[in-house]
Amino acid sequence: MKKVHNYSAGPCILPPEVLKQAAEAVVEFEGMGLSLLEISHRSKQFEAVMDESRHLVRELLHVPDNYSVVFLQGGATLGFTIAPYNFLPVGGKAAYVNTGTWATGALKEGIRMGNAVEIASSESSNFNHIPKGYSIPADADYLHLTSNNTIYGTQFKDFPASPVKVICDMSSDIFARQINVSDFAMIYAGAQKNMGPAGATLYIVNNDLLGKSGRNIPVYLDLVQHIKKDSMYNTPPVYSVYVSMLTLRWLKNLGGVPVMEKINEEKARTLYAEIDLNPLFKGHSVAEDRSTMNATFTLTDESLADEFDALWKSAGISGIKGHRSVGGYRASMYNALPLESVKVLVEVMRELALKKA
Ligand X SMILES: *Cc1c(COP(=O)(O)O)cnc(C)c1O
Catalytic residues: 102, 169, 193
Cβ proximity to ligand X: between 10 and 92 the closer is: 10
Closest approach of ligand X to the CB of residue 97, in Å = 13
Among 122, 150, 231, 292, binds ligand X (CB under 6 A): 150
Q: Give residues 54-93 in contact with ligand X (rule: CB under 6 A).
A: 75-77
Coil, strand or helix: which one is 35? coil
Q: Which residue is nearest to ligand X (CB)?
A: 75
172 sits near ligand X (criterion: CB under 6 A)? yes
Indicate the burial class of 3 (C-beta count within 10 angstroms; 0-12, 13-18, 19 or more). exposed
122 sits near ligand X (criterion: CB under 6 A)? no
218 vs 185: CA distance, rounded Å: 20
Question: What is the contact mask toward ligand X in residues 298 to 337, using x (rule: CB under 6 A)?
Answer: ----------------------------------------
Cβ proximity to ligand X: between 194 and 274 the closer is: 194
Size of the site for ligand X (CB under 6 A): 12
Contact criterion met (CB below 8 Å) for 326 and 284: yes
The CA distances from residue 49 to 246, 298, 320, in Å, are 9, 43, 34
Phi/psi of residue 339, nearest 5 degrees: -55, -35
Q: Give residues 127-146 in contact with ligand X (rule: CB under 6 A).
A: 146
Closest approach of ligand X to the CB of residue 215, in Å = 22
102 sits near ligand X (criterion: CB under 6 A)? yes
Coil, strand or helix: which one is 212? coil
Contacts of 323 (CB under 8 A, 6+ apart): 9, 151, 330
269 vs 272: CA distance, rounded Å: 5
Give the residues lining the site for ligand X (CB under 6 A).
10, 75-77, 102, 146, 150, 169, 171-172, 190, 193
